[in-house]
Structure 1
Amino acid sequence: MSQQEITIPTSYITTLLEVVAARGYDTARLLEEAGITPEELEDRRYFSALRYGNLYRRAIAVMHDEWFGMLSGGSIPHGSFRLLSLLMVHARTLRQALLRAWDFGLVCRGFQVSVKLEEEGDRARVRLAPLHRNNREEIEAMILAAQPVMLRTTLAVWQRHWSWLIGSELKTDRTFFTFPRPGQHWEMAQFTTGELVFDAGFNGFEFPASYLDFPVVQTEESLEDFLRLAPYGLIINIESGQSTQARVKVLLNQYLGDSALCADKVAERLNMSVTTLRRHLQGEGTSFQRLKDECRMEAALHFLACSDISNREIAERLGFDEVSVFFRAFKKWTGVTPGQYRAAEPVSASGH
């Protein structure tokens, strides 16, 4: 099945490798372990988001730090992001979810920095702040000394995470950074904001306080699909000039199990009519249904490689009403049944 691959700027990879090298790990070895050759990165502005995701996961594993590339103050144990997200999806509103994120940082080993919520009238402000009083000055100095790309990525990932929680883009009015305006173009972890403010007194952003009353719409079930895309699903900006089909695939991947995510709703998220969406996709040689099938197939291949996820559970996660419908669709996509695919492929212990 031919498909338009979602891409990210190659600078994401070079920045990631710089951080890996600073930690004392062999970057050539990391690339080899991720199946990427140095030649593939030469003179190429964009690179496969999926392969970048595999590289990022490998870096997280060898660095023993699930927050690798983002500002935390320490090494975060594997599984922490899942536990944090579980805590937040059971919050009633975004406000409660943000307060829980701060509380989680207080008890999770490794965190020295988190996001602190402040409210003033109809404005909400979130800033990176030390979690503990006993080393506040030391951590504040560490935040000020952090690389601009790390600060930007950290804020972007939080913003994307919260947008996913409420099922709507959390658009910030102003984003603040303590460092001076960069002298060269920087595109790591782009995100939507009304205004960028440099040489500010803190790192964070402001947005209408009304967002805090938005209900959390995600569940434990939708969380599993969300985690399947982490981390690269959190740093891809669907407004960043990708083709229409790539932007559609980002949305479909983020809400894969939602059978109600039809062409009309996707068009609305992309600020266009469904007629315009279909015309753009047709011009790119594809269709909404074809892209949906591609996303489902890619997810199915991932889940079938995990021994602890049943075929029925996979069908439910992919939004199929009946497991038999999933079986017929998978055979149409690949030419084999899910059972035949599993018999031919090595499996891992878990899909988390």
Structure 2
Amino acid sequence: MGLSLPAEERALTTLHTIALAADRLGAGGMRLKPLLDGSGLTPADLETPDKLISHAQELRVFANAVKASGDPALGLSLGLRMHVSAYGILGYTMLASRTLRDALNLALAYPTLLGTYFKLSLEEDGDEARLVATGYRYAPELTVFNTELCMTSLLTVVQDLLGHAIAPRYLRLPFRPPLHAQAYADKLDCPVEFCAPAGVLGFDAALLDRPLPLADPVSCHYGLQQCLQLNAQLASGPDVLEQIRQHLNNHLRDSSSLERVASQLHRSARTLRRHLQRMNTSYQRLLDEVRYDKARHLLTQTDLPIYLIAEQLGYSETASFRHAFQRWSGQPPSLYRR
């Protein structure tokens, strides 16, 4: 069931990268079903622009894409197609910024809106500027894919903002040369160095203060306000989930419905339901998660009879608890206790 995900995997992001991968692979004949398999997403979700998903869901789609495409350089290809407009209101606000420096600082101030798995920074050293990516801590098997996607998408964004191609001074990558290393020479017009301490894209510092061709102070101002609102929404999502989880954990016997929980949390059921839908979950799923976690604890750490455990979890009948636990764990509670 994917219960009790680590906190970092409950972080929220938008659908823009998955939508790009679906378009790219769909053009090559790949069907959506294997791409979305195991992610909890449906093809209809990709048609919902304001839907929010977890990083865990996005990583599952990435893993499916790498496996199904058979293209080891997929991260490079997707990054070079990740145009600034793919970042929604953040991308358009960057386009309306005064200079490249302003646009990049805006993006770095909102890493959640970028959907990045890295800590990004902008450094300057004399006539050289560097975009640096560190701190990757997600799926290790996708390190190369995600690093390639991140670094080449940064190059694409810089070029989109300036309105023309640039020749980077270099690209540094924090891993050994992969088997598809030749693809870098084929797709990038710059030297590539491997085994670096971090991902680094180096370019001329003079570009930072170049006025952007689509700069518009009014559009930039209003775009920034929308970025603030969306960032708050993305940041509050996990907090709402944790509030519901915490309440359920303490009041399982009295949490028969979302309406009752909403009342006890002094929120409207409609607002909570909308939050849960945007995070691709439901009240029943959260209730199952909390019940399953508590059931495992009570079965292994106490000698309570199963009928009392069922009562503590809010079940009116022991048989209902037995069926639910069998569905969650694949075995009855009595066997799990052994």
**With structure 2 as the length reference, what TM-score do the two structures score?**
0.39
Q: Quick one: higher RCO (CA 8 Å, sep 6+), 1 or 2?
A: 2
Under a length normalisation based on structure 1, what TM-score does the superposition of the two structures give? 0.38
Higher-Rg member (1/2): 2
